[in-house]
Each structure stands twice: as structure tokens, then as C-alpha cells.
Chain A
Amino acid sequence: MTTAATDTEAPPQAGRTQRSERPSTLALLLNNRLAAAGLVILGVIVATALAAPILPLDDPNATNPAGRLAPLFSEGHILGTDALGRDTLSRLIWGARVSLAVGFSASVIAAVVGSAIGLVAGYAGGRTDQIMMRLIDMLMAFPYILLALAIVAILGPGLINALYAIAIVNVPFFARNIRGITIGLARREFVDAARLSGKGPLRILASDILPNVLPTIVITLSTTVGWMILETAGLSFLGLGAQPPQADLGSMLGEGRKVLFTAPTISLVPGLMIFLIVMSINLIGDGIRDVLDPRLRSGALARPSFRTAILPDRARPASTIDPAATLDVKNLETQFRMGSEVYRAAGGIDLRIARGECLGLVGESGSGKSVTAMSLMGLVPSPPGVIAGGLIGFKGEDLADAPDKRIRELRGGAVSHVFQDPLATLHPLFPVGDQLVEAIRAHQRIGKSEAETKAKDLLALVRIPNPEARMKALPHELSGGLRQRVSIAMALANDPELIIADEPTTALDVTVQAQVLRLMDDLRRERDAAVLFITHDFGVVSEICERVAVMYAGRIVETGRTDEILKEPAHPYTRMLIDCVPIMGEPERRLDAVPGRPPPVNRLPPGCAFADRCPRAQADCRSGDIPLEKKRGSLEARCLHPLQPGESLT
């Protein structure tokens, strides 16, 4: 839960490199300074406790009424003596021995019993699972320590009974966690295979499932051992655990309390020891969880900031921005920096959109088209995103140089966005009307009721029936098409001059898709707004865009007027993308995507990035930088052997 923040050394995203470069679990654990410190502290304490019989210590139970309540650093008693004149240091070490033994034993019992219940319930399923889990739920319905008290009340006070009580109350944690994992595993192919090979359930559990749930058992153990040591000490402190003359850290603390005001150290010292033990275990536990939980390791939990980071010394192209264009992007480079790896998701992009024009940005997933579009308003998550170079011209102003305040002003104002999946992009807990009103009032100084009227008008504008009633609807109560209309209404709220639409119709079914496209096209013409339309689908492009830019591996490989590109593209990649579009009445047409995969953008080959998948590739395609050049008509392509008019791919 503290995630990588306990890890002060490595940046959070350091782990997300190549699989083969991943360091071992132990190395990662030691890399985590706090976890390593925990290991050292716990190691020293455990070693000292184990060595208690051979250390030159006084008899922990030898009383000496004459030397009672000696202070710290007395002659012969470094930590002083207690109310009966017993040596505190000796009692501390022997007491730690008892506490550690009891705590670890309770943990092992809880882990074994709980895991066994979880394995059986998860594997058997059905009635067995139901009954077992109901019983576990019953145990969890009790406040944690109260159940331990009830068990001690039944069994009677004593150290062993306290041990059982703590073990029992921790069984449910293991049972639940292990059952969850086992249920998933029991349906997997390798378990089916084992079953078919005639193995019995017990053997399958032991040889096929147990090894896979072991990490979960370790994580659960590492997060509960600390508690269990703490709680057994607590029961002893209450006088319900260790009984005199036997002493653990908890009972020492409880006894010392009687002389708290005259000799506070007698109770404070064993308490400090409990604290050190529990804290070191928790440090190790956090470290183990960080290492074993791949989601935390990948740094996925890093918080994106307000705006994409921009390198202060970013590369600036020599050319200047055209103030006449609504959008004029020059040589934009956006990178993802993960540890020592640099992924050039957008590697030198030029885009130009005139007022009222619609430009389609097309490419496979991972081609960098969304990153390019999200870079414009600084919406690429940072970390790990960084804008490393280029100019982002908006009506003559370079947005990469604009202060945060200006960016906030433009966002949702002059520049608005429509995103792909409106179920994920609208806030799930707020009514859509409120979200619209919020968008309006972020940019217009008007009262709430006036904004509500405007919101209703906007809903009507995007042809949502009965806007009055829909205002109060939550996103999940609307259909996909209606939700996307709400997003579009939100994008239109403050009369934008540029709309950035990132796959706005991809999540919709075909008829709704057509309606939404028509709506966007109408509204754009009505309001004379420029649109950057991102899609992977040439079918959509042909309906709405005047010009197209095709992206591959972070660069634009072809651009030109839509009709020309659709008819006779110059770049082989564009041809292959166009061939993916289904055509009515040609059911046998191949619909699979372009075969092969694009190269990773942190290891781009020299020359053309598409060469490995290109049927026309020749030796000269694999060296040097291939420029984006004018080929014919409005077409520009990054290709040495472009398709000629009428030429087919093969």
C-alpha cells in the first residue's frame, strides 16, 4: 500500500524494462533500502534471541530484592533491574525469544490451516466452498481482538492458548486470499491437463496449484506476522497470555506498568523491542509486496501530473509557426522514459490544420497517434511522458512554451477533447448534467441556473431526446451512443476552435457510429471548428476528414487529401491499412489487420521502420533517414519505393 514510495532509490517506473533485464526478487528486495534495513534489524534481534542460552547473561528469573529498580547503565545491569531485582537486559532477550517463537508459531499455524481451507474451498467450489466461506465470514464478522479474547475465555488464560487464539483469528485472511487465487487457477488448462492425466485432487492441489499460490501465501504472511506478534504480546500485556514466572515482552510490559511512574524504563524497554520487531517485519513485508506485486513494480501507480513534462532544453526546429493555421505542429517529439529506456512514441511530427478543416490521424494501435494528439494540450501522463522537442502552434502561439495557467484556460475552452470510451471518460459518480454545467462554468462566468439552461440546450443540440430528464442521469444509466453524445456536448460547451477527437466512435456499434459521425460533421461545419480526428479505421476517415496523416512507429509516413490517399496511396503501409476496411457485399475480403507487428519505439531500426513488414522492401530501405517527400498531387510519403498509380501491392 505504501507502494514504491518506500523505495527511495529507484524511480517508480524502473521495473518496466524488458523482461530479461528484470533483476531477481532478492536483489530487488535488497535494493529497497527500507526493506534491507528491516532485514538487518530483524536479523540482529532473531540472532540475539536464538543465542540467548550461550550469551553471558544473568539468570532472567534470579531475584535480588536488594538491587531492585536499578536505573539504566547501572554496574552489571546495563538496562537496570525490575521490581524484583531481575536483570532487564537478560529478561528482554529471553522475553523476545518467547515472543518471537509464539508469534512465528501462530503465523505458521494460521498460514497452514488458512491456506488449506482456501485451497480446498477454491478447488472444490460449489457447496463445499459456500459452507466453508460462510464459516470464515462468520469469524470475520467479529472485531479482530474480541474474537481472540472469546477464545482465550473458553480455553483459559495462558501463553499456548493465546497462541491458538491469535492463530485462529488470522486463519480467515489466509483462507480468503488463497481461495481467491485458487478459484482462478482451478479453471486453467494446466489443471485440466493434470485432471485428465488421472491425478487425484489432493495431488493436483499439492503439485500443480500450491506452487502457484505460494507467492500469495508469502505476501499474506509477510503482512500478518507483525500483527500476530503484536497481538500475542498484547494478550500477555493484558495478563491473558504468558503467566509468571514465564515472561514474554508483553507480560514484561504489563508487569512494568505497575511501577510506571517510579521506573518507566522497565515497561518502556520491552515495548520498544516489540515496536522494533513489528516495524522491521512490516518493512520487509512492504518490500516483499512491492517486489511480488507486478502492478506496483511496473510503476503503474505513478500519479500523472497536471500537464505533460516539457524538457526545458527541448529541441526547437528552425522554422516558425504559421499564425494563420488553427493548429501548426512542428517536429513534435514525445517520449516515454522508463528507467534508462527512452521510447519515442511521437518522433518528430508535423501537423497542420486550417480553420474549419478536419484532419484524420490514422494508424494501428501503438503507432503514436493518441500520444501525438494528447501531447498538444499536455494530457500525456507524466511520469513517464516527456515532451522532448518541437513546437505546438495554436493560432500562432507555441503551447509548449505557454504557462500552466494559459493551458488550463485553453483546455475545454478554445481546444476541447472527445475521448474513446465515454463510460470510462465520464465521471461515474456525477450526473451528466452536473458534468456539463461544470465544463461550462470552468470557462464562463455565469450562474448555476443559467449554466443548466445552456447544458440542456447543448444536450438538445447533440440530439439527445428529453434533455431535461437526461441531465440527472448517471453515465452508466445511458446507452453508449447517448454517452458519446454527452461527451460531444461537453466538447462543444465553450465554442471550441479546435476539437481533438481520439477514436470517438470506436466503442460504439456501427449504426450509432454512423449517427455520431454525421453529428460531429454537421456541428463542425456549423461552427467552423477545426478537428483532429484520430482513428485506426479508414472507413471512418472517408466519411469525415478532408485530409489524412498516416502514422507508423511514431512518425508520419504519408499525408495528403483523403480522396487521393484512399484511391491511390503511395506508401505500402497505407495501402495495407485501406485494404483492412470491410466493404459491403464483399464478405470474403480479408479483414485481418496488417500482418506482423511494428518495431518497439525504443529500438527503431535504421531506415524505414516498416521495412520488415513491407513486401516491397529493398536493401536501401534499411539505412539512413528516409524523409517525408512529395510524391504526386497532394501526397507526401516517407518511402523510397512508393506505389505508382494503378500499381497493386504484390
Chain B
Amino acid sequence: MTAIIAKRLLAAIPVLVGLSVIVFLMIALIPGDPATAILGSYATPENVARLNADLGLDKTLPQQYLAWISSVLQGDFGRSYALNRPVIDIVLERFSATLLLAGAALILATIFGLLAGIVSAVRQFGLADKTITLVVLIGISVPSFWLGLILILFFAVRIQLFPASGMVAIYGGGGPLDILHHLVLPAVTLAVVATGVIARLTRTAMLEVLRQDYIRTARAKGLSERRVIYRHAFMAALVSVIPVIGIQAGFVLGGAVYIETVFQWPGVGAMLVNAISQRDILLVQGGVLVVAASYVLFNLAADVCQTLLDPRLK
């Protein structure tokens, strides 16, 4: 178990390094003078000169990267010029909100995606299958930012069941129940697409597995259909669905950008959109790096889960 995790962690290191190089190159790739781009066009010449020296732009790119990555590893992502605060503070503050939202959405998507996929496969070509297939098709085609608005109009404005925006109530908010209350609409909206994708793949994986010889063996043993489907077939199908759930984590983390904007959820996504509009490049860089790195770690976790479920992969 520990050996597996250690092995996967080692394998993730080159990915993380590559990721950091790409994120680092963001600054170098900006057309024109990076310092001006970072500080905005109203920056004083002295500030531009000082930032240029800070960024070490007189050195070669590999030297710049080493200097940058060593300060990143010490938690120094630079300062946001627009907010005049250390980037790391803002990103970490925002990231916890994103994790909560994305985590809730991913759990919803996994539960309902697996359920819908199994029912669809077991009732193949039946009414339930056709209905689920159609709903899934709508789910993966619907723009989440539009769906969010519809849900706000109905659940927040019309029947006033859930709040329309934010993470906590302005007066007396902040308790776990209050946050949960605010979480429902954005998490459901964010989960829709991932649910659809997971449902589709679960259905295919189940149908694939149900044709296998070992399912015939399970039936030949005289097991009940329930046991054949929910133990023998589902466990085998789950092995191929888990990596998909890992990939969906990326779509959910990315899709959070829209949902955070629509619901004014104080996460990294909404922060990134503002930072891009204000050309606050260091903040964008920090946000992208943290989210992307967490995605790598999440995939690693999915990988380990898959190995634990399927001992053949060891």
C-alpha cells in the first residue's frame, strides 16, 4: 500500500515539474515587457525596473526558472499588484472554497453517475435506459452557466428555497449548515456534466463486463441477479470507471470557474477571471499552479484507488 503510493508519487514528480515549467513560461510568453504587463500600464518606471530585477529578467530562462521555483517551493508566489497582497495568501484562502464546491460536485456526480449508469445498463433498451440516456444527453449538452441562472431563477427567486449567491449569509452566516445551504445550487449545477459523463461510461463499462465469461460463471453458480450485477459486474466495471472520475475532477475544477462566477462563490475560479481581466498575471500564475497541482494529486489518488481495487495492476 505505502509502496504503491510512493511509486505513484515518484511518477507524478516529472508531471509536476513539467506543469511548473509551463506555468512559469506564462510570464515569458506574454507579448511585450513582462514587468509592464504585470504592473499594468500605469506603473512608474522605477517600479518596472525593480520588478524586472526581482524577476531576474537579465538572467537566462533556466536560471530564472530555478530562482522562481525555489521561491514557489518556499511559498513565495510574488505579490498581487491589484490587491497588494501576497499571491499565496489570496490563492489559499480562495482555494478552500473551490475545493469545497468541486468536492461536493464530484461526490454528487460519482454517486448519481454510477447509479444512473448501472440502472441504464441493467435495463438496457428499456424505458428507464432510454429516459436516462436522454437526460444524460441533455446534461452533457447544457451550458452550466446557463443552467445555473435557471436554477437561481427558480430555486432562489421563485420558490426561495436556496440563496442565489455567495457562500455565507451576510447576517449571522458562516455556520456549517449555512454554508451547506449556499452550497446546494452551485454544487448541483457543477455536478450535472460530470454526472452525465460518468453515467455514460458506467453504462458502457457495465455492458462490457456483463458479456464477460466470469459473469456467466457467476450465473452458472446459481447466484441471484442482484449479486451478479452489484457485486460481480459492478466491481469489475468500477475499475475502469475510476480513472474517468479522476479525469472528471479536472473538468469539475475547471468548470468551477463558471459556477463561481454565476453564484459569486468566493473560489479560485472567480478570482482567476477577475485577475485575467485586470492583467494581474502573478495572481493568475499562482492560482493556475495550485489548482493544476491539486488536479495531478487527485489523479494520483484515483490511480492508487484503482490499483487497490484491481490487484492485477500491481
Contact = CB atoms under 8 A, between A and B. Distances in A.
Interface of A: 1-6, 8, 12, 134, 137-139, 141-146, 149-150, 152-157, 226, 230, 233-234, 237-240, 253, 257, 260-261, 264, 267-268, 271-272, 274-275, 278-279, 282-283, 286, 300-304, 306, 377, 379, 381, 408-413, 416-417, 419, 421, 424-430, 438-439, 442-443, 474, 476, 487, 490
A279 B138 contact: yes
B210 A304 contact: yes
Interface stretch (B104-112, B121-129, B168-176): B121-129
Interface in B82-98: none
20 contacts: A142-B250, A143-B253, A155-B31, A237-B145, A253-B143, A253-B146, A257-B262, A268-B153, A271-B143, A272-B146, A275-B142, A278-B141, A283-B137, A303-B124, A377-B220, A412-B222, A419-B220, A427-B214, A428-B236, A429-B310
A102 to B, nearest CB: 15
A417 B217 contact: yes
A5 B217 contact: no
Nearest to B217: A425
A142 B239 contact: no
Closest 7 CB pairs of A and B: A271-B146, A145-B254, A412-B222, A279-B141, A411-B222, A412-B221, A1-B200
A419 B200 CA distance: 32
B265 interface: no
Interface in B207-262: 207-208, 210-225, 228, 232, 235-236, 239, 249-251, 253-255, 257-258, 261-262
B137 A2 contact: yes
B191 to A, nearest CB: 16
A154 B26 contact: yes
Interface stretch (B54-62, B181-189, B288-296): B288-296
A139 B25 CA distance: 13
Nearest to B121: A303
A239 B258 CA distance: 11
Nearest to A307: B219
A337 B54 CA distance: 75
Most buried by A among B138, B140, B220, B255: B220
Given A150-B284, A157-B277, A233-B143, A271 B254 contact: no
Contacts of B208: 301
Given A141-B18, A268-B149, A411 B221 contact: yes
B52 interface: no
Interface in B152-167: 152-153, 157
Contacts of B310: 428-429
Nearest to B153: A264
Contacts of A300: 211
A387 B24 CA distance: 67
A142 B145 contact: no
B130 interface: yes
Contact of B143 (A2, A150, A234): A234
Contacts of B29: 154
Interface in B252-294: 253-255, 257-258, 261-262, 272-273, 275-277, 279, 281, 284, 288, 291-292
A476 B211 CA distance: 20
Chain B's interface size range is 35 or more
A8 B100 CA distance: 40
A425 B277 CA distance: 59
Contacts of B214: 424-428
B217 A146 contact: no
A1 B204 contact: yes
B99 to A, nearest CB: 13
Contacts of A153: 26, 272, 275-276, 281, 284, 288
A157 B278 CA distance: 10
B304 interface: no
B80 interface: no
Contacts of B150: 268, 271
A487 B225 CA distance: 21
A306 B122 CA distance: 11
Nearest to B200: A1
A145 B236 contact: no
A251 to B, nearest CB: 12
Nearest to B212: A424
Nearest to A301: B207
A141 B220 contact: no
Contacts of A427: 214, 217-218, 232, 236
Interface of B: 15, 18-19, 22-23, 26, 29-31, 120-122, 124-125, 129-130, 133, 136-138, 140-143, 145-146, 149-150, 152-153, 157, 200-201, 203-204, 206-208, 210-225, 228, 232, 235-236, 239, 249-251, 253-255, 257-258, 261-262, 272-273, 275-277, 279, 281, 284, 288, 291-292, 295-296, 309-312
B47 to A, nearest CB: 21
A301 B204 contact: yes
B133 A5 contact: yes
A278 B143 contact: yes
A6 B129 CA distance: 10
B213 A301 contact: no
Given A275-B141, A429-B235, A8 B146 contact: no
A150 to B, nearest CB: 5
Given A303-B207, A428-B312, A474-B312, A282 B221 contact: no
Nearest to B221: A412
Given A303-B210, A425-B213, A474-B311, A490 B221 contact: yes
A443 B251 CA distance: 47
A237 B257 CA distance: 11
A411 B219 contact: yes
Please indicate which of the listed interface residues A150, A275, A413, A443 has the most CB atoms of chain B within 10 Å of its own CB. Answer: A150
B110 to A, nearest CB: 17
A146 B288 contact: yes
A253 B221 contact: no
B149 A267 contact: yes
Contact of B254 (A146, A157, A303, A442): A146
B281 A143 contact: no
Contacts of B312: 428-429, 474, 476
B221 A439 contact: yes
Contact of B273 (A239, A410, A411): A239
A474 B236 CA distance: 14
Given A152-B276, A303-B124, A260 B153 contact: yes
Contact of B211 (A12, A226, A301, A442): A301
A146 B253 contact: yes
A421 B214 CA distance: 10
A237 B258 contact: yes
A152 B29 CA distance: 12
